Amino acid sequence: MYSEILLEHFRNPRNMGRMENPDGVGKVGNPACGDVMHIYIKVGKNASGQEVIEDIKFETFGCAAAIGTSSMVTELAKGKTLEEAEKISKEDVAEAVGGLPPIKMHCSLLATKGLRKAIEDYRSRKGKGDGGEGGEDSQHSQEG
Amino acid sequence: MRAYLDYASTTPLDERVLEEMLPWLKEEFANPTGIYSLSQRARQAVEGARERVAEFIGASPSEVVFTSSGTEACNLAIKGYALANRRQGNRIVVSAVEHMAVLEACRALEKHGFEVAVVGVDEHGCVKPEELEKAVTGETLLVVVQLASNEIGTIQNIRELAEVAHERGAAFFCDACIANGSVPVDVDALDVELLAMSAHKMYGPKGVGALYVAEGTRIEPLIHGGGQERGYRSGTENVPGIVGFGRACEIAAREMEAEGERIRRMRDRMVRRVMQEIEDVRLNGHPERRLPGNANFAIAYIEGESLVLELDFAGVSASTGSACTSPTLEPSHVLTAIGLSKAQAHGSLRVTLGRFTTEEEVEHFLEVLPGVVERLRRISPFKRGGEEYV
């Protein structure tokens, strides 16, 4: 049912855990639906001065597909510019984990939503001159 | 080390059952409908098995109809009774914790003008007679409650519930598929008109079930054809399956009591250890009135599918009521009916023991469970004392 890549990420998740003082947080999903992801990012600058995801971590409550795609999205996003990271699609994630059963496609969607939410949160904090919580997303109707 | 702890899903075939089935899969292949001796032997085998199954539940052989599964037996009971007796009323009352075979059969009848009322249960999964009284109106023709839950193991007081139905002129159908072979079943003591059984839940083969239809109870067949099973269920009899079912009943009748004690002791010890060694875990279902082999835990902060997969990697086969393993992505209706939040239901783990379960298997499960739970809790954003988890 699951690909070897996905199971490998499920068993050995990359970038797993809570981040101290993140620059942005994306919280998506709902425990009632069985999937919740928290994505934490630290933003830095690369040599050409663009904002990049310097560090990224996740915490996930959910099935193997939810945990595996969370792990994969953090790998795909790490080191990318914010613009590049935002463009990671659910198809990119699903492909990177070696495909997902149709009923689990929403997990890859949730992972990309979590990442975008974290970037959005970073930008809104920056706009407000840092500080403040945010990135909550309680809408889950399409996310699982 | 592998530990198979999913006996509620299906049981391994008992060697003794297989032995008895083999000739009927090989040289004794004849159709029991024929009149030559080869066929007559098959006929005798089927009727011998019918006697064994009937005796096992305290019925007459003429009251046993063989079907292809427990699911078919449930469908035949509900649809067959409703269609044959619709002049008596159009209301069917079912408990909220029934198996999908029952709930979906009832739902299908709604399309044909029947009204289905669902009765809730208490926190342990028990149907309360006073709640049933409210639901069973004069229009009710059938009341359906399982003998025990395949998920949480809770055993219902069927006799008391059947009395409520009978007082109001309704018949009673009891789904005993998961209870058979674990607890004694006597149709007279239970006082039911219809009772469903399944062979593969009691060390018999898959693909065979039975419906007890009390004498004088009318049902319409669902499958029409050559008129086998006295017209209640056409189709050439599954001779090896039926023979195996008979043997499985005969073994269970002799061994169930001692076996139940052994399984119960192992289960109780296992439950105690899980409750001691893992924080924030609850036992779902009734503390005492439950099947001897059933344990169902709600393990907080984690989700059941990942738990079951991790256990599988560690050599343990168990199951969960989490949505993530169901095609509808909805958590178990049984767990939400006993008051668990959806999040709690997602974190359920069902561990069921049976005839061939060894102390070593249980020990292996107990050894690997804490590590697996701890690992998934590290990944989860929900932690002890955190507020977001409901």
**3-class secondary structure for chain B?**
CCEECECCCCCCCCHHHHHHHHHHHCCCCCCCCCCCHHHHHHHHHHHHHHHHHHHHCCCCHHHEEEECCHHHHHHHHHHHHHHHCHHHCCEEEEECCCCHHHHHHHHHHHCCCCEEEEECCCCCCCCCHHHHHHHCCCCEEEEECCCECCCCCEECCHHHHHHHHHHCCCEEEEECCCCECCECCCHHHHCCCEEEEEHHHCCCCCCCEEEEECCCCCCCCCCCCCCCHHHCCCCCCCHHHHHHHHHHHHHHHHHHHHHHHHHHHHHHHHHHHHHHHCCCEEECCCCCCECCCEEEEEECCCCHHHHHHHHHHCCEECECCCHHHCCCCCCCHHHHHCCCCHHHHHCEEEEECCCCCCHHHHHHHHHHHHHHHHHHHHHCCCCCCCCCCC
Mutate to test the interface with A, among B346, B368, B376 (most CBs of A within 10 A): B346
Which is the catalytic residue, given A6, A107, A110, A111? A107
Do the chains contact at A59 and B327, CB–CB below 8 Å? no
A95 touches chain B (CB under 8 A): no
Question: Does any CB of chain B come closer than 8 Å to the CB of residue A29?
Answer: no
Chain A residue with minimal CA distance to B379? A59
**What is the arithmetic mean of pLDDT over B126-134?**
97
Nearest CA in chain B to A65: B306
Partners of residue B306 in chain A, C-beta under 8 Å? 10, 62-64, 66-67
Contact yes or no for A60 and B381 at CB 8 A: yes
Cβ–Cβ below 8 Å for A31 and B390? yes
Per-domain boundaries in chain B? 3-9+257-379, 15-251
Residue B306 sits at the chain A interface (C-beta within 8 Å): yes
- Of the pLDDT bands very low, low, confident and very high (cuts 50, 70, 90), residue A144 is very low
Angle at the Cα of B107 from the Cα atoms of B106 and B111, rounded to 5 degrees: 110
**B177 carries an active-site annotation:** no
User: How do residues B329-358 score in pLDDT, each as one tens digit?
Assistant: 788 999 999 999 988 999 999 999 999 999
Task: Encode pLDDT of B17-63 as tens digits.
Answer: 999 999 999 999 999 999 999 999 999 999 999 999 999 999 999 99
- Give me the residue spans of the domains in chain A: 4-125
Distance from CA of B156 to the nearest CA of A (A): 29
Q: Does B382 touch chain A (CB under 8 A)?
A: yes
pLDDT digits (tens, 9 = 90+) for A28-79: 998 888 899 999 999 999 999 999 999 999 999 999 999 999 999 999 999 9
Q: Would you say domain A4-125 falls under CATH 3.90.1010.10?
A: yes
Q: What pLDDT is stored for residue B324 in this prediction?
A: 66
Q: How confident is the model at residue B322 (pLDDT cuts 50, 70, 90)?
A: confident
> How far B127 CA lies from chain A's nearest CA (Å)?
25
Any idea which fold B3-9+257-379 has? Answer: Aspartate Aminotransferase, domain 1 (3.90.1150)
Catalytic site includes residue A33: yes
Is residue B271 scored above 60 in pLDDT?
A: yes
Report pLDDT digits (tens) over B136-192. 999 999 999 999 999 999 999 999 999 999 999 999 999 999 999 999 999 999 999
- Mean pLDDT across the stretch B290-314? 96
Q: Does the beta carbon of B387 lie under 8 angstroms from any beta carbon of chain A?
A: no
- Do B3-9+257-379 and B15-251 agree at the fold level? no
Residue A131 has pLDDT above 60, yes or no: no
Q: B-chain residues within 8 Å CB-CB of A32?
A: 341-343, 390
CATH 3.40.640.10 fits B15-251, yes or no: yes
At A135 the pLDDT is 47
What confidence tier does A141 reach under pLDDT thresholds 50, 70, 90?
A: very low
